[in-house]
Structure 1
Amino acid sequence: MTIALKNVTKVYHMGDTTVHALAGVNLEIIAGELTAIMGPSGSGKSTLMNILGCLDRPTSGSYSIDGLEVGGLNDDELAVMRNQKIGFVFQNFNLLPRMSALQNVSLPMVYAGVSKIERIERAEQALGMVGLEERKHHRPNELSGGQRQRVAIARALVNNPAIIMADEPTGNLDSKSGNEIMDIFGKLNSQGRTIILVTHEPEIAAYARRILHVRDGQLVRDEKQEGAEACSGKVS
């Protein structure tokens, strides 16, 4: 699924202040790419991620996924797009504390109307993909930070999305756990999924084949990396 942005802007009005979070971004991401978005605080990288993930709409410009103009979709259609085609992974995991790993991973399928039997089967498969099948009945407070992020990745995978969006996915993890998480993203990318991640850590961006540098709401550099670590697709 090719992602294309043309002259995309995002403007926020806060009282008498106008903030231009994005100022005419032009970008194309080809299916199967592993792309990192980097930039200082306030650069617009999280706003760009929210628009790419259909969590927000641009103020102006065009955003399309596989030729479909996203700006023309209503709220219900956007929700379907997010649920079926995009998986999300966040820095703070966003797991429900009273639910087991299996139940947390099953949630997106509840919204998609999948039967309970199929939900359990697919959630177990997704947990197996991230090496947590034996922890499926554990609650988040019984898991390490790295394990919780693996649960979050499994949850992002259950509807078999073509695109995975990850916002600072290693930000709350130690170096070893962070590298393990990036190895999982590398494997998913080697299977053909498009991975887009926001990070401020150069060592994490080094896993990507492409790094987009954002500053003051603009794409200032588009850097290609031939020998990116993600190409190995290994999982620790």
Structure 2
Amino acid sequence: MMAGADKNEVIRLSGIGKSYYIGKEEVPVLTHIDLSIREGEFVSIMGPSGAGKSTLMNILGCLDRPTRGSYLLDGKEVANLNDSELAYTRNRKIGFVFQSFNLLPRLSALDNVILPMIYGSLFKKERKERAVKMLESVGLGDRINHMPAEMSGGQRQRVAIARALINDPAIIMADEPTGNLDSHSTREVMEIFSKLYEQGKTIILVTHEIDVAAYAGRHVILSDGHISKDIRGPLP
């Protein structure tokens, strides 16, 4: 862990920038991001469309590499990880929840949740038992054999959360997880995130909805590719 870092710090971004190129023209998306997140924090990332929220989430989740800057995850420089180490990190340390659920339509709820365990060391019976318990924990014990098309948006998102949790990651990253949900399903999903936070999970949530962000205890506001505000406590 870097000198001077908090021993409970799980994420530290220093001078992170991300640019894309159109021909020879550089188009910056993130300009200079300095951000530290401690173990067990519930952080929302907010900002207008085009502010760089999803780009930042992709970098945090090791789905994309920054153009410049340093990203320490559990004290290790992500830039030094090879592709297989990045894949292991994504599978074991981080659970992802996306707005579009990203479930495989031809697999049941149970098989979607089992999927991240396929390359692990558990036997088939153990994987199934673990997946059933995880689906039960999100209130879907009676839907384990349903296909995604047979479930509501809220149920599909709960399957996605169960899948994200199946390898017991320390960090949950959610990108607009309630964007396709009605108000009732939004409350159900956010209550699950609140319980995970109470259990000690680190949660990073991208959202443009103030009522959803209110579940978090800290709010990082992006504007034009940089952090304009970092608010601890309730949103003003």
TM-score norm. by structure 1 comes to 0.93
1:202 aligned onto 2:210: yes
1:186 aligned onto 2:200: no
Which residue number in structure 2 is paired with residue 119 of structure 1? 127
Within 1, Cα distance between the matches of 2:161 and 2:185? Answer: 13
Shift of 1:17: 3.0
Deviation digits for residues 19-60 of structure 1 (CA, Å, limit 9, x no counterpart):
111111000000001110001111011110000000011111
Query: Cα–Cα, structure 1 residues 89 and 213, in superposed 2: closer, same or farther, change >3 Å?
Result: same
SS of the aligned residue for 1:26 comes to strand
Within 2, Cα distance between the matches of 1:96 and 1:133? Answer: 19
SS of the aligned residue for 2:97 comes to strand
Which residue number in structure 2 is paired with residue 214 of structure 1? 222
- Structure 2 counterpart of 1:84, which letter? R
1:10 aligned onto 2:18: yes
Shift of 1:111: 3.2
Tell whether the 8 Å contact from 2:214 to 2:234 is kept in structure 1 after alignment: no
SS of the aligned residue for 1:187 comes to helix
1:149 aligned onto 2:181: no
Within 2, Cα distance between the matches of 1:59 and 1:38? Answer: 22
Which residue number in structure 2 is paired with residue 83 of structure 1? 91
Shift of 1:114: 3.3
Which residue number in structure 2 is paired with residue 232 of structure 1? none
SS of the aligned residue for 1:135 comes to coil
Which residue number in structure 1 is paired with residue 5 of structure 2? none
User: Which residue, 87, 107, 114 being the options, matches 1:99?
Assistant: 107
- Structure 1 counterpart of 2:122, which letter? V
Shift of 1:16: 3.6
Deviation digits for residues 182-229 of structure 1 (CA, Å, limit 9, x no counterpart):
0000000100000101001011001100010001110110011159xx
Within 1, Cα distance between the matches of 2:149 and 2:223? Answer: 37
Within 1, Cα distance between the matches of 2:123 and 2:87? Answer: 19
Which residue number in structure 2 is paired with residue 23 of structure 1? 31
1:138 aligned onto 2:146: yes
Following superposition of structure 1 onto structure 2, how do residues 45-64 of structure 1 map, counting pairs within 5 Å? Answer: 45-64=53-72
SS of the aligned residue for 1:103 comes to helix
Which residue number in structure 2 is paired with residue 70 of structure 1? 78
Tell whether the 8 Å contact from 1:162 to 1:194 is kept in structure 2 after alignment: yes
Tell whether the 8 Å contact from 1:83 to 1:112 is kept in structure 2 after alignment: no
User: Which residue, 175, 185, 196 being the options, matches 1:177?
Assistant: 185
**Unpaired segments ≥5 residues, structure 2:** 1-8
